[in-house]
Amino acid sequence: MQKIFDTLLGGGRISVEEALTLAESCDIHTLGELGKAARERRFGDKAFWVYNQHLNFTNVCANACRFCAFSKRAGDEGAYTYSIDDIRQRIRERAHEPITEIHIVGGLNPDLPYSYYMDLIAAVREERPDIAIKAFTAVEVAYLAGQTGKSYADVLTDMKSSGLNALPGGGAEVFSPKLRQKLCPEKVSGDVWLEIHETAHGLGLPTNCTLLFGHIESWRDRLEHMAALRDVQDRTGGFKVFIPLQYQPGNNPLEAEGTDGVDYLRMIAISRLFMDNVPHLKAYWAFSGIKPAQMALHAGADDFDGTLVEEKVGHAAGASSPTGMTVAKLEETIRQAGFTPVERNTFFEEVGGPTQAV
């Protein structure tokens, strides 16, 4: 264990095996201290947040991931799909707010043509010329490529030409093929997910990355997933932030128990220590709950996501946090935890401060 501490304190990289030893044998206080020291070396007492709006344009989905409580089949009660006009309306409702990012993802609705996706981006771009559009997971990109016969690069290029600025990190789940077979058999493989993100980075589109944890996976599954992300990042540098997403156990057929607060903090600390080349680590309060997210800032996280307003995916699965937070509440929550709130944009440039990526 001492050798691992020495590596970390010297700014070195730890292997999957070393991270596994830490995760399984290191006490939570030491782990938290190491995570906190690593985040303080980079960001001091800053905790970043973003003024964002989430928009889930449809919950109709051809897939049936076992952990998902959000998706519906066409015609089911509660199934919905926004028209482009509905989307314009939702953007206009908040036109007076200084939002800097819109986060757009949806189900794989077989009735939506390729043009819908491009029109959606173009409409948001027209309504809010200055806002960053972070939209469509690699799963959606792969689905559109499959439907049209286009390459991943062509789909991403079309999206970029329509006004897309970045890709969110969803759809990664856990890369282990064995687990994917149990969790989300219809979903694209981990290799395809990684290939699409690497392609996006090559086209100048930054992306985020995630891991869905706290269900039926082991620590080794988590770390092998993170190692695959770390390898891509070594080649491209295109991931902005890593987001460990806590499985929400409600209303979904997987019926796994879900994780607890200490496991969440261990996950945050290990993420900070292992993912040494992804600069930011998000405490996603909408899934973890606000209080655990405050604690996560003390264990290695530096980002608090944002205002959200209409989070639907985690809340369909029983998340008990609010679906959105005001700026005042976000800033107060970060201050209460002992950190200095700093507004950032999608690219992690400080808003209102120096326009320099952090």
Residues that bind ligand V47 (CB under 6 A): 67-69, 168-171, 173, 208, 210, 212, 243, 245, 247-248, 252, 284, 287, 313-314, 317
The Cα 208–Cα 260 span in angstroms is 24
In angstroms, what is the minimal distance from the CB of 189 to ligand V47? 14
Q: How far is CA 73 from CA 67, 148, 184, 311, in A?
A: 15, 22, 16, 20
The Cα 102–Cα 164 span in angstroms is 10
The Cα 218–Cα 210 span in angstroms is 16
The Cα 221–Cα 241 span in angstroms is 20
Span 10-49, contacts to ligand SF4 by CB under 6 A: none
Determine, following the binding rule CB under 6 A, whether residue 63 of this chain makes contact with ligand SF4: yes
23 binds, among ligand SF4, ligand V47, none (CB under 5 to 8 A by kind): none
Structure-block tokens of residue 343: 């507004």
The terminus-to-terminus CA distance of the chain in angstroms comes to: 31
Is residue 147 within 8 A of residue 31, CB to CB? The reply is: no
112 binds, among ligand V47, ligand SF4, none (CB under 5 to 8 A by kind): none
In angstroms, what is the minimal distance from the CB of 212 to ligand SF4? 9
229 binds, among ligand V47, ligand SF4, none (CB under 5 to 8 A by kind): none
Q: Which of 41, 47, 127 is nearest to 84 (CA)?
A: 127
Determine, following the binding rule CB under 6 A, whether residue 252 of this chain makes contact with ligand SF4: no
In angstroms, what is the minimal distance from the CB of 317 to ligand SF4? 10
Q: Which of 55, 321, 264, 327 is nearest to 168 (CA)?
A: 55
Is residue 303 within 8 A of residue 241, CB to CB? The reply is: yes
252 binds, among ligand SF4, ligand V47, none (CB under 5 to 8 A by kind): ligand V47
Among 70, 152, 193, 219, binds ligand SF4 (CB under 6 A): 70
Cβ distance to ligand V47 smaller for residue 32 or 285:
285
Structure-block tokens of residue 322: 């609010």
61 binds, among ligand SF4, ligand V47, none (CB under 5 to 8 A by kind): ligand SF4
Determine, following the binding rule CB under 6 A, whether residue 107 of this chain makes contact with ligand SF4: yes
Cβ distance to ligand SF4 smaller for residue 163 or 171:
171
219 binds, among ligand SF4, ligand V47, none (CB under 5 to 8 A by kind): none
Among 55, 65, 325, 334, binds ligand SF4 (CB under 6 A): 65
115 torsion bin: left (phi>0), alpha (psi -120 to 50), beta (else): alpha
Determine, following the binding rule CB under 6 A, whether residue 64 of this chain makes contact with ligand SF4: yes
Sheet order of strands, 280-281 included: 207-213, 239-246, 280-281
Structure-block tokens of residue 2: 């001492």
Cβ distance to ligand SF4 smaller for residue 287 or 348:
287
CA–centroid distance for 205 within its chain: 15
DSSP 128-171: -TTSEEEE--HHHHHHHHHHH---HHHHHHHHHHHT--BB--TT
Determine, following the binding rule CB under 6 A, whether residue 147 of this chain makes contact with ligand SF4: no
71 binds, among ligand V47, ligand SF4, none (CB under 5 to 8 A by kind): ligand SF4
In angstroms, what is the minimal distance from the CB of 4 to ligand V47? 29
314 binds, among ligand V47, ligand SF4, none (CB under 5 to 8 A by kind): ligand V47
Stretch binding ligand SF4 (CB under 6 A), from 66-74, 200-208, 294-302, 325-333: 66-74
Applying CB under 6 A, the residues found at the interface with ligand SF4 are 61, 63-65, 68, 70-71, 107-108, 139, 184, 187
